[in-house]
Amino acid sequence: MRIEFILKVKPGDILAKSIFSSDGKILLRAGVSLTLNYINRLKQLDVLYVYIEDKRLSDLDLEDIRLNELKVDTLKGVSTIVKKITLNDRVDIMDSLIKVEELMNYIIEFGDINKSLNDIKTHDNYTFVHSIDTGIMAAFLGINMGFERADIVNLGISATLHDLGKVKISKDMLNKSQGLSNVEYSEMKKHPIYGVDILRSNTDLSVKITDAILQHHERIDGTGYPFGLKGNEICINAKIISVCDVYDAISNDRSYRTKFNPKDSYELILAGSGKFFDEEVVKVFKDTFAVYQLGSCLKLSNGVEGYVIKQNKGFPDRPVVRVLYHGKDKKPIRFYEINLLENINLSVECVY
């Protein structure tokens, strides 16, 4: 399969990954032949890209059926929590947290970074998919930092629920396309407090979980919120969630800005090391995540275009790409591969 920008998708292309609503229902199932109506509807939902089946990349398997089931269950659980809070109903948070625990335990046992992230985000499901992706990213960092299983699960729960307090912020404010006023920004900065208040009033969670949620917008240099904590005043789980939250957020379009390109998103995290983000967390982040997704099309500095089929560990911006065609007319060729780690004279010009 390959990643294709929605503006380049053609009728007849076969969807390779299902697209879900905010409550876990399938909007469009993998295997469907995309029609012009489907494509236009995806554009209306602010879908930027989709996964398309491609026999030339059939060895690139990015699907994990069991993982998808667990993510859907978690999506439904988090969605239920938010709906009940919105209606001022009593929330059985522990029931939904069981789903998050199952997801985190699966990541610990069988997690494959290349198959675990990058679900399709729409304007409807963004908040929920962002929360789950942040939880999964945090779990992978916890694993690579040598955390115990129970600590990884707690970290994943905190990260998945990190933005729960935004349910108390008006949708108009959350979706505002212009900058927030000082009053609005002051209110927005309270969402970590709101989130912890909701959890404490509905269940008895450990301090490790609530502190991580409360502090996930704090910054190493003290410029964060809501309390302006700095350095070691911030718990390690909050430091991890901070990196994952920012990285996932800037990698996606929002109402108030367009997304960063993959290289800039990655570089922003590295540039914030020691100032906004914990240096050790950023170091592990660099050793864990790659710049370019498997299946994405890259234009190289020599003008050749190819699809990412493999990552080179320790070199996040130097993947292996498979070239399927030549020229502007994209004439098919007998494909070949370029390992950017072995071709240091080449660089990635853009994601194409």
* Cβ atoms of residues 260 and 270 within 8 Å: no
Say if residue 254 is exposed, middle or buried (CB neighbours under 10 Å; 0-12, 13-18, 19+). middle
Give the tens place of pLDDT for each residue, 200-242.
887 888 999 999 999 999 999 999 999 999 999 999 999 999 9
Q: Between 216 and 89, name the one with better pLDDT.
A: 216
E-strand stretches of the chain: 2-5, 19-20, 26-28, 49-52, 297-300, 305-312, 315-326, 331-339, 348-351
The structure tokens listed for 192 are 């970590």
User: What single-letter DSSP state applies at residue 91?
Assistant: -
Predicted local confidence at residue 249, as pLDDT: 87
Say if residue 65 is exposed, middle or buried (CB neighbours under 10 Å; 0-12, 13-18, 19+). exposed
Alpha-carbon distances of 120 from 1, 30, 200, rounded to whole Å: 14, 12, 32
Give the tens place of pLDDT for each residue, 150-193.
999 999 999 999 999 998 998 888 877 778 899 999 999 999 99
* Cβ atoms of residues 228 and 222 within 8 Å: yes
Give the tens place of pLDDT for each residue, 282-335.
999 999 999 999 999 999 999 999 999 999 988 999 999 999 998 777 888 899
pLDDT band at 48 (very low <50, low <70, confident <90, very high): confident
Asked if the model's pLDDT at residue 253 lies above 70, the reply is: no
To which residue do tokens 């707690």 refer? 154
Predicted local confidence at residue 259, as pLDDT: 66
Please report the DSSP string for 268-304 in residue order. HHHHTBTTTB-HHHHHHHHHH--SS-TT-EEEETTS-
Predicted local confidence at residue 150, as pLDDT: 96
Predicted local confidence at residue 289, as pLDDT: 94
* Cβ atoms of residues 251 and 130 within 8 Å: no
* Rounded to 5°, angle at Cα 323 from 328 and 334: 95
* Cβ atoms of residues 60 and 295 within 8 Å: yes
| CA of residue 144 relative to chain centroid, distance | 18
* Distance separating alpha carbons of residues 198 and 93, to the nearest angstrom: 10
* Distance separating alpha carbons of residues 111 and 165, to the nearest angstrom: 28
What is the rounded average pLDDT of the residues 56-68? 88
Predicted local confidence at residue 254, as pLDDT: 56
The structure tokens listed for 347 are 């660089």
Q: Smallest Cα–Cα separation from 123: which of 22, 38, 45? A: 45
What predicted TM-score, i.e. pTM, was given to this entire model? 0.91
* Distance separating alpha carbons of residues 223 and 272, to the nearest angstrom: 12
